Structure 1
Amino acid sequence: MRQTQHDPERHPRFFASAANKASQAAGRASTFVLACAAIVIWAATGPLFRFSDTWQLVINTGTTIVTFLMVFLIQNSQNRDSAAIQVKLDELIRTGTVQNSFVGIEHLSADELEELRARCEERAKVVAAARR
């Protein structure tokens, strides 16, 4: 019997690739039209099934499952986008003339970020006033 080696790096890449493809497909107009068509078909079959509890359960279950799965796809997509933007911003900060102390601030607490935002806003007001 042949044993396969487990590659821990393969699964995250597979999920990222699958999540990316699924989120791209979910964002297409044709997917929206397909979802609307499913709702219209379901509604049209209401009289056929006498608007039964089972008929209602079909749409409730289907939409709940789709929503549940989409939450994870959307979160994965947002995590990757956020990480990519953060890397780009860090590189701009590193190579530019701004303060390198801003690199990595995404790891600060909400209170620390708010304090930093307020200081930056105050500095921006001072610079704008000096330009007038």
Structure 2
Amino acid sequence: MPSDVDGNVGRFDRFSSLASKLTSRPGYFAFCVLLVLIWAPTFFVFDKLTWHLLIDTVTTVITFLTVALLQNSETRNEAALQHKLNAVAGGLADIMDRLSDDETPEEMRRRRDELRRAVGLEENESV
């Protein structure tokens, strides 16, 4: 349940979240394009093998590190989503336990609407 979620976030997790936010912005894409634009003219400075080796090494290192950081963020996001789904399932189970045969459809509708507001389904689906 949500009360089981530990609010402590380690340094690596904070760094990973920051990297995830950074790499999802247009500035990171601009940096990558700038890197290629700086690299391209070096064709005339280095021999062909060095020229290829330079960009291959730089892009491989950047890709490797970025994937590792993003995987950490994705794993934590999946865990948080699972906790939210568990909370919703628990809320639905509580509602189902409280329903009785003599409950009116209006009361059931009110509870359903309350649950939807709590989870934010209406706002998320309309986006």
- When normalised by structure 2's length, the TM-score is 0.63
Structure with bigger helix share is 2
Runs of 4+ in structure 1 off by over 3 angstroms are none
Alignment of 1:21-100 (within 5 A): 21-50=18-47, 52-97=48-93
Q: CA-to-partner distance for each residue in 1:9-62, whole Å, 9 max, x for gaps?
A: xxx701000111111111110110111011011012212324x31121111001
Counterpart of 1:48, as a letter, is V
2:43 alignment partner, SS class: coil
Counterpart of 1:42, as a letter, is W
Root-mean-square deviation (CA), in Å? 2.1
Count of matched residue pairs: 88
Structure 2, unaligned runs of 5 or more: 1-8, 95-127
Distance 1:35 1:60 in 2: 13
Counterpart of 2:74, as a letter, is Q
1:86, CA displacement in angstroms? 0.5
* Percent of aligned positions that are identical: 36
Counterpart of 2:11, as a letter, is F
Structure 1, unaligned runs of 5 or more: 1-11, 99-132
Stretch deviating more after TM superposition (52-61 or 29-38):
52-61
